[in-house]
């Protein structure tokens, strides 16, 4: 009880600290005659601006290799920059990637990264001085001994067939997965408190995460940061497919940024524009990383990402034109003063000759990277440089479409899911996974967490590819317990090349107790997305005609690092109707009438089929009294 | 209850019921008919109202203005349709893609059990084309469907044109919360059935179809559009679906509300609403509208493409544009606005449509009769069967307790003192034989068509229908002869037991039917109840046989055909009526095979055998 109260008060404290936090940034910008400490804060990054870039490049490189993305920047454009390493204990980077999509839509992906060379979880070390790293999160990490935390809020569904793969995938609704430190004894207790605290921090309904929608995947979610603990007892994973993301979630998310939304790339985040889009996803990823190359000590990395897709059609105008101002109703005038690096990347891979779109202003900086198995070329705009902003002192990127929007894509890995059948008794969940690679088979790890009120008939589980039975090489199934635990199904399936694999399982819809229905029971109940994780063979490795002028000796054996890349694909959530009593007045009337009719008919029928005889006239009173006494005495009665 | 537990009073009541049994039954029957006809009288009905909150208070503003473009698209579609000699699949895919939809196709093929002479088709191959408008920031869990059938010839081009224009307009809007599927289906209901089965991955009718590639979650509502002229005078709303299922009344209310708002003339059953309910003409008009609905619902077929959605618990209705000689015309823009308004309201739904009624009759679009009002009419008919049932149940009682002297008090039914109890075989034989005849009626027509075509100079369709009629007629001769052969002369007890069984059986059958499809149950009850309740072997044979045949299920269908033609103001002569009757039978069998309509199996496997049992009673001796 005391712990519970403590947790609650913590929520409040955190909320307040959270509210108070960005005000520090405000004063930072406005005041100039302030205390020495603040002066030093504003001084430090300027120093880094001048000389920190290459060290950052190294960090980037290492970072991206350890996640799903591989970077190869062999460009000579940054030769002019100096090589002095950064001295700051924590640093902040911001980045915006703009990718014109195949369908004519435009994808904007923000990433903000705060790196702090300190270890919260070390024994006896109490961290109380926070600079760039948000205190609200830091305290949460140390209190609940969190090793790694990933939380995402998504409104909309990523359309893989039209948009290709996202940089950071996320399922519709909210997703939270946390690795706890292996010293934690009561993981479930920590998890429960943590979700409540996070619910306060992000103004989201994460407090609806409880044991009935939490699972411990055995293989699908491995730690992305340092540490080799893979005992899934310390992992908790939950999704809330119904969570609706809106400005109230965006505001606390923005407040975690060192500059808030006052300067830098974050000024672009006007909620009325961000939520006028086809897809919106914001996320926070916290994990331990290496401090330096020798990896003697840990650093904490906070990565805040925001992904938006703007729709070409609903923009209303017939002119196919994108600009920063049109997308965000703001232009950029400066980088965040606290950031060591602040850049905009525009993907121009499909546009080498400028036949698809015009990009202005032009930039001399180019960068190449292998992202998601594909070699991409980017125009780079460095916001820390004055010349980027031109004479108008503001940067407004302009993209003018020339070509038509294309057909649908065939991404190498693609998955979708639906409920088959009709009626309210049974149904069948179909998960269809496509491998569109022309000649390579590859394994995928499928994870499915289904709420208990869909009672899965696991004996009906079938996996078929190319109309043949496909036996999974690994199956981990944890059956549900009514009102306590969801189903968890994990399978490792080999996808044959150029095939469609269908996973089906039948279920029965449970009849809930009447208090367990939501206030809108006829809307249906959500089943979270199915997660498909895979190492997909890379497009670069597929490329056999070497048009790029590579030396022959380097291109015979495909490079190992580039041969495959990690992808996580989320399917759409399901909306399933359960048998719902009609909670309305006519239903009650019918129930009542039926009861009355049943009772009436029963007795009526009884009377009709029974025969009655006229009884003997009743005994006189004296005899009845005598019989009463005789009954008590146990003597035969008088007649 | 006390009344019944007192033997003396019970005896009095029994006597009363026995004595007045026939008058009471007749009064009940008349009351049922009067009650039913009274349902169309306006003061007895309720005004329709929108129950769903999400659709009620927020009136949307319609801005669709691309009516002209819709008509030019329709012309283009027509040209491509002519060129392709059917569905212009490629053109549709291209034009949907150009409007920013995700486009998919589905091909299907179906071999009909026998050729459909009305629509001239036997081997059906076709392709459905559908485009999905993905709602921004929605996770693909809910969808709405707008369909337009691609019909042969000149018809329905404008519907497809309007569909595409709406798609283009909707694509540019930001307020969608549900995905919208625009479907153009070939071969009307067959294509629709293929698409729905593909979408839900079921196969209930043995259709061959290619699996669907794109889906959009659970479908919340569907609208089907039929439009064959550039301008229209009125819009007709069609609600009756497969097996007499109706969509939620709120869908009809929504249509009516927008017709009122935009000043569009709207009809139901092709009949305009009249305001003079107190005049005889006004009442007759309302009664005709309601009777049409009852007849359409009773026949259990889908009267538009929407009808097949209802099986999947998707509320759906068809909207048909009618161009008559009225002066006041409306253009495609107005119809587009009406659809825009309806779809936007449906888009606002938070739950499935469930607030309003699912069981209703409509004497006009603004008035409805709910289940609570029309059920008493059927109840009164059912009471007759129940009254006859206890009346005989005492006989049964008597027979069971034969020899108990106390029972002589109940002398309501006199002649039951036979010492030997009739074997269960006496009852079982006619029951089994009647049902075997029913099974033959259900199975043989379709399976014997090849043999029939070989031996007689008829087409397959005629063969099926004529075989059905032949078996039906043969059944009249079969049961009682066989019964006599098996157990000799029927006993007095035997027919009583049989009649009890048959009455109970009929009551249960009709009751269940009326719960699912009131109209069918009521029509069957009106024709079957009087003769079945009164039939005994002691009646004059020829007369009662004639009466029984005239009130048999087949003749009921024939009467319905004539009444229907009368009501839609296309009266027919006897020979035309007979041809229609034959085509109705073939359509009924086809509907069962193609879409799973249950009326034909119900009539063949249950109602007809039940009727045969009574026929058997008539010829007991």
Mean pLDDT over A1-10 rounds to 42
pLDDT at A611 over 80: no
* Top-confidence residue, A320 or A246: A246
**Closest C-alpha to A437, from A355, A524, A534:** A534
pLDDT band for position A540 (50/70/90)? Answer: low
Of chain B, the end-to-end C-alpha distance in Å amounts to: 40
Cα A176 to chain centroid distance, Å, stands at 7
Number of H helices, E strands in chain A: 13, 26
The shortest CB-CB distance from A612 to any of B5, B397, B401 is to: B5
- For B357, the closest chain A residue by CA position comes to A586
The shortest CB-CB distance from B406 to any of A408, A526, A613 is to: A613
Average of per-residue pLDDT values in chain B: 85
Residues with Cβ within 8 Å of A499's Cβ and at least 6 positions away in sequence, in order, are A434, A435, A465, A466
CB-CB neighbors (< 8 A) of B7 in chain A: 612-614
pLDDT tens string A454-505: 999 999 999 999 889 999 999 999 999 999 999 999 999 999 999 999 999 9
- Which pLDDT value is given to residue A201? 93
Residues with Cβ within 8 Å of A613's Cβ and at least 6 positions away in sequence, in order, are B7, B406
- Strand pairing class (A487-495; A468-469): unpaired
**Which tokens in the block code for residue A589?**
């009337």
**Closest C-alpha to B387, from B62, B97, B6, B32:** B32
- Which pLDDT value is given to residue A308? 93
pLDDT at B403 over 50: no
Give B202→chain A minimum CA distance, Å.
Answer: 6
- Which pLDDT value is given to residue A20? 38
Report the residue of A174, A607, A610 to disrupt the B interface, i.e. the one with the largest count of B CBs within 10 Å.
A607
Mean pLDDT over A230-245 rounds to 90
Mean pLDDT over B437-442 rounds to 91
Interface residue A577 vs chain B (CB under 8 A) = yes
Size of interface A-B (CB pairs under 8 A): 117
pLDDT tens string B368-386: 999 889 999 999 998 888 7
Cβ-in-10-Å burial (0-12, 13-18, 19+) of A234 comes to buried
Is the CB of residue A112 less than 8 Å from the CB of residue A86?
no
Mean pLDDT over B127-135 rounds to 93
Task: Flag the least confident range among A108-117, A166-175, A350-359, B352-361.
Answer: A350-359
Rounded Cα gap, residues A345 and A366, in angstroms: 9
pLDDT tens string A92-106: 999 999 988 877 788
pLDDT band for position B600 (50/70/90)? Answer: very high
pLDDT tens string B286-340: 999 999 999 999 999 999 999 999 999 999 999 999 988 888 888 899 999 999 9
- Strand pairing class (A173-180; B208-209): unpaired
- For A518, the closest chain B residue by CA position comes to B351
Interior/surface letters A7-42, b for 16+ CB within 10 angstroms, e for the rest = beebbeebbeebeebbeebeebeeeeeeeeeeeebe
The shortest CB-CB distance from A313 to any of B6, B171, B397 is to: B171
- Which pLDDT value is given to residue B117? 81
pLDDT at A81 over 70: no
pLDDT at B57 over 90: no
pLDDT at B486 over 80: no
Q: Quote the percentage of chain A above a pLDDT of 70.
A: 77
pLDDT band for position A46 (50/70/90)? Answer: very low
The answer to whether the Cβ–Cβ distance between A156 and B136 falls below 8 Å is: yes
A-facing residues of B in 174-233 (CB < 8 A) are 174, 200-202, 215, 217-218
Interface residue A608 vs chain B (CB under 8 A) = yes
Q: Quote the percentage of chain B above a pLDDT of 90.
A: 47
Mean pLDDT over A251-274 rounds to 89
Q: Quote the percentage of chain A above a pLDDT of 90.
A: 35
- Which pLDDT value is given to residue A603? 81
The shortest CB-CB distance from A607 to any of B4, B202, B217 is to: B4
Give A371→chain B minimum CA distance, Å.
Answer: 25
Round the CA-based radius of gyration of chain A to a whole number and report it. Answer: 32
Residue with tokens 């034959």: B582
Task: Flag the least confident range among A605-614, B91-100, B509-518.
Answer: A605-614
pLDDT band for position A80 (50/70/90)? Answer: very low
B-facing residues of A in 415-444 (CB < 8 A) are 416, 418-424, 428, 430
**Maximum pairwise Cα distance, chain A:** 127
- Which pLDDT value is given to residue A40? 37
Instruction: Return the H-helix or E-strand segment holding A323.
Output: strand A321-323
Other Cβ atoms within 10 Å of A112 Cβ, number: 27
Rounded Cα gap, residues A611 and B4, in angstroms: 10
pLDDT at A32 over 70: no
Interface residue B425 vs chain A (CB under 8 A) = no
- For A105, the closest chain B residue by CA position comes to B100
ipTM of the complex: 0.87
Rounded Cα gap, residues B370 and B41, in angstroms: 14
CB-CB neighbors (< 8 A) of B315 in chain A: none
Give A495→chain B minimum CA distance, Å.
Answer: 18
Rounded Cα gap, residues B29 and B40, in angstroms: 18
Other Cβ atoms within 10 Å of A413 Cβ, number: 23
Q: Which of A57-66, A279-288, A620-629, B6-15 has the highest mean pLDDT?
A: A279-288
pTM above 0.80, yes or no: yes
- For B220, the closest chain A residue by CA position comes to A523
The shortest CB-CB distance from A314 to any of B172, B200, B202 is to: B172
Question: Got the DSSP string for A561-610?
Answer: HHHEEEEEEEPPPEEEPPP----SHHHHHHHHHHHHHHHHHHHHHHHHHS
pLDDT band for position A75 (50/70/90)? Answer: very low
pLDDT band for position A176 (50/70/90)? Answer: very high
pLDDT at B109 over 50: yes
pLDDT at B491 over 80: no
Q: Where are the domains of chain A?
A: 109-309, 413-576, 584-639
The answer to whether the Cβ–Cβ distance between A311 and B136 falls below 8 Å is: yes
Rounded Cα gap, residues B226 and B232, in angstroms: 11
- Which pLDDT value is given to residue A607? 73
The shortest CB-CB distance from B137 to any of A279, A420, A577 is to: A279
Interface residue A587 vs chain B (CB under 8 A) = no
CB-CB neighbors (< 8 A) of A405 in chain B: 100
Residue with tokens 């840990």: A298
The answer to whether the Cβ–Cβ distance between B136 and A604 falls below 8 Å is: no
Q: Is the peptide bond before B145 cis (omega within 30 degrees of 0)?
A: no
According to DSSP H, which parts of B39-156 are helical? 53-56, 67-84, 89-98
Average of per-residue pLDDT values in chain A: 79
- For B98, the closest chain A residue by CA position comes to A405
Rounded Cα gap, residues A400 and A360, in angstroms: 9
pLDDT at A7 over 60: no
- Which pLDDT value is given to residue B571? 83
Residues with Cβ within 8 Å of B392's Cβ and at least 6 positions away in sequence, in order, are B413, B496, B499, B500, B503
pLDDT band for position B390 (50/70/90)? Answer: low
The CATH number of the domain covering residues in A413-576: 2.60.40.740
- Which pLDDT value is given to residue A43? 37
- For A274, the closest chain B residue by CA position comes to B137
- Which pLDDT value is given to residue A18? 40
CB-CB neighbors (< 8 A) of A584 in chain B: 355
Rounded Cα gap, residues B430 and B620, in angstroms: 11
């Amino acid at each position: 009880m005391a712990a519970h109260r403590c947790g609650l008060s913590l929520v409040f404290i955190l909320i307040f600290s959270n509210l108070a936090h960005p005000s520090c940034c405000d004063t930072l910008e406005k005041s100039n005659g302030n205390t020495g400490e603040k002066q030093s804060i504003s001084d430090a990054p300027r120093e880094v601006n001048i000389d920190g870039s290459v060290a950052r490049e190294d960090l980037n490189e290492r970072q991206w290799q350890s996640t799903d993305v591989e970077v190869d920047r062999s460009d000579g454009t940054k030769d002019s920059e100096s090589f002095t390493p950064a001295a700051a204990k924590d640093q902040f980077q911001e980045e915006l990637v703009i990718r014109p999509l195949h369908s004519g839509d435009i994808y904007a992906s923000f990433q903000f990264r705060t790196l702090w060379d300190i270890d919260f979880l070390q024994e006896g070390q109490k961290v109380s001085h926070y600079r760039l790293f948000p205190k609200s999160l830091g305290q949460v990490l140390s209190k609940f001994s969190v090793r790694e935390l990933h939380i995402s809020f998504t409104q909309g569904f990523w359309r893989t067939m039209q948009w290709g793969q996202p940089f950071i995938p996320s399922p519709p609704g909210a997703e939270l997965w946390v690795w706890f430190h292996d010293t934690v004894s009561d993981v479930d207790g920590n998890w429960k408190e943590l979700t409540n605290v996070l619910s306060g921090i992000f103004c989201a309904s994460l407090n609806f995460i409880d044991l009935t929608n939490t699972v411990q995947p055995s293989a699908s979610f491995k730690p992305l940061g340092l540490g080799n603990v893979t005992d899934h007892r310390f992992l908790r994973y939950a999704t809330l497919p119904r969570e609706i993301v809106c400005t109230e979630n965006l505001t606390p998310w923005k407040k975690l940024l060192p500059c808030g939304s006052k300067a830098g790339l974050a000024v672009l985040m006007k909620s009325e524009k961000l939520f006028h889009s086809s897809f919106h996803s914001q996320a926070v990823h916290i994990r331990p990383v290496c401090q330096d190359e020798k990896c003697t000590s840990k650093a904490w990395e906070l990565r805040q990402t925001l992904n938006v897709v703007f729709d070409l059609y609903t923009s209303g105008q017939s002119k196919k034109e994108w600009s920063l101002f049109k997308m965000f109703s703001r232009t950029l005038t400066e980088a965040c003063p606290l950031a060591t690096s602040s850049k905009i990347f525009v993907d121009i891979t499909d546009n080498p000759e400028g036949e698809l779109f015009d990009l202005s202003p032009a930039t001399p900086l180019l960068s190449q990277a292998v992202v998601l198995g594909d070699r991409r070329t980017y125009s780079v705009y460095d916001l820390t440089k004055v010349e980027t902003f031109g004479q108008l002192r503001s940067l407004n990127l302009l993209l003018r479409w020339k070509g038509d929007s294309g057909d649908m894509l065939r991404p190498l890995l693609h998955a979708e899911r639906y409920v088959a059948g009709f009626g309210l008794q049974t149904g069948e969940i179909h998960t269809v996974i496509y491998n569109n690679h022309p000649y390579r088979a590859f394994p995928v790890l499928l994870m499915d967490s289904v709420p208990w009120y869909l009672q899965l008939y696991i004996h009906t589980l079938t996996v078929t590819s190319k109309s043949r039975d496909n036996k999974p090489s690994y199956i981990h199934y944890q059956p549900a317990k009514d009102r306590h635990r969801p189903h968890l199904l994990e399978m490792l399936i080999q996808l044959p090349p150029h095939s469609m694999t269908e996973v089906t399982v039948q279920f029965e819809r449970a009849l809930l107790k009447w208090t367990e229905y939501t206030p809108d029971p006829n809307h249906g109940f959500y089943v979270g997305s199915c997660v498909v994780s895979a190492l997909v063979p890379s497009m670069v490795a597929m490329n056999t005609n070497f048009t790029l002028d590579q030396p022959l000796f380097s291109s015979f054996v495909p490079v190992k690092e580039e041969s495959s890349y990690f992808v996580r694909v989320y399917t759409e959530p399901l909306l399933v109707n359960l048998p719902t009593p009609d909670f309305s007045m006519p239903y009650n009337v019918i129930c009542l009438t039926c009861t009355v009719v049943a009772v009436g008919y029963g007795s009526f029928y009884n009377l009709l089929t029974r025969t009655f005889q006229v009884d003997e006239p009743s005994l006189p009173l004296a005899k009845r009294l005598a019989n009463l006494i005789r009954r008590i005495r146990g003597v035969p009665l008088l007649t | 209850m006390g009344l019944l537990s007192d033997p003396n009073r019970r005896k009095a009541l029994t006597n009363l019921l026995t004595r007045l049994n026939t008058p009471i039954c007749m009064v009940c029957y008349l009351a049922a008919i009067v009650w039913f006809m009274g349902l169309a009288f306006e003061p007895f009905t309720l005004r329709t109202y929108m129950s769903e909150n999400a659709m009620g208070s927020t009136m949307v503003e319609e801005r669709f203005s691309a009516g002209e473009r819709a008509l030019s698209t329709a012309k283009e579609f027509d040209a491509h349709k002519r060129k392709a000699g059917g569905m212009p699949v490629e053109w549709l895919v291209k034009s949907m893609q150009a409007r920013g939809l995700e486009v998919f196709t589905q091909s299907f093929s179906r071999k009909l059990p026998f050729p459909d002479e009305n629509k001239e088709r036997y081997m059906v191959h076709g392709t459905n084309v559908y485009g999905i408008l993905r709602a921004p920031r929605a996770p693909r869990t809910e969808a709405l469907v707008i369909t337009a059938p691609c019909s042969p010839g000149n018809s329905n081009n404008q519907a497809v044109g309007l569909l595409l224009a709406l798609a283009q307009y909707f694509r540019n809007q930001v307020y969608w919360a549900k995905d919208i599927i625009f479907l153009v289906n070939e071969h009307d209901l067959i294509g629709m059935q293929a698409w729905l089965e593909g979408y839900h991955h079921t196969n209930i009718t043995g259709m061959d179809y290619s699996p669907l590639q794109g889906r959009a979650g659970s479908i919340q509502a569907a609208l089907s559009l039929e439009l064959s002229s550039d301008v229209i005078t009125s819009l007709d709303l069609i609600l009756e679906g497969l097996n007499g299922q109706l969509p939620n009344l709120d869908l009809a209310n929504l249509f009516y509300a927008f017709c009122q708002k935009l000043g569009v003339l709207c009809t139901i059953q092709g009949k305009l609403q009249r305001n003079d309910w107190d005049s005889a003409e006004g009442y007759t008009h309302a009664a005709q509208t309601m009777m049409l609905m009852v007849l359409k619902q009773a026949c259990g077929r889908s009267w538009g493409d929407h009808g097949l959605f209802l099986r999947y618990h998707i509320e759906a209705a068809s909207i048909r544009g009618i161009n008559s000689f009225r002066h006041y015309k409306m253009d495609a823009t107005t119809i587009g606005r009406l659809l825009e308004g309806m779809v936007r309201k449906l888009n606002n739904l938070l739950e499935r449509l469930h607030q309003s009624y699912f069981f209703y009759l409509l004497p006009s679009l603004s008035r409805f009769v709910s289940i609570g009002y029309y059920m008493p009419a059927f109840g009164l008919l059912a009471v007759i069967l129940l009254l006859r049932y206890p009346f005989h149940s005492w006989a049964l009682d008597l027979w069971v307790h034969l020899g108990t002297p106390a029972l002589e008090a109940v002398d309501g039914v006199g002649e039951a003192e036979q010492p030997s109890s009739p074997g269960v075989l006496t009852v079982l034989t006619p029951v089994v034989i009647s049902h075997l005849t029913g099974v033959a009626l259900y199975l043989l027509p379709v399976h014997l068509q090849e043999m029939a075509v070989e031996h007689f100079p008829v087409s397959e369709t005629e063969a099926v229908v004529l075989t059905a009629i032949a078996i039906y007629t043969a059944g009249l001769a079969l049961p009682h002869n066989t019964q006599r052969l098996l157990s000799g002369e029927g006993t007095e007890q035997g027919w009583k037991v049989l009649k009890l069984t048959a009455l109970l059986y009929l009551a249960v059958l009709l009751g269940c039917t009326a719960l699912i499809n009131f109209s069918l149950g009521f029509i069957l009850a009106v024709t079957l109840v009087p003769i079945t309740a009164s039939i005994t072997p002691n009646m004059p044979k020829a007369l009662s046989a004639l009466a029984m045949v005239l009130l048999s299920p087949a003749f009921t269908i024939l009467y319905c055909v004539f009444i229907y033609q009368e009501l839609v103001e296309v009266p027919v002569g006897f020979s035309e009526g007979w041809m229609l009757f034959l085509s109705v039978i073939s359509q009924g069998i086809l509907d069962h095979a193609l879409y799973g309509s249950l009326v034909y199996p119900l009539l063949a496997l249950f109602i007809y055998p039940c009727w045969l049992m009574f026929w058997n009673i008539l010829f007991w001796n």
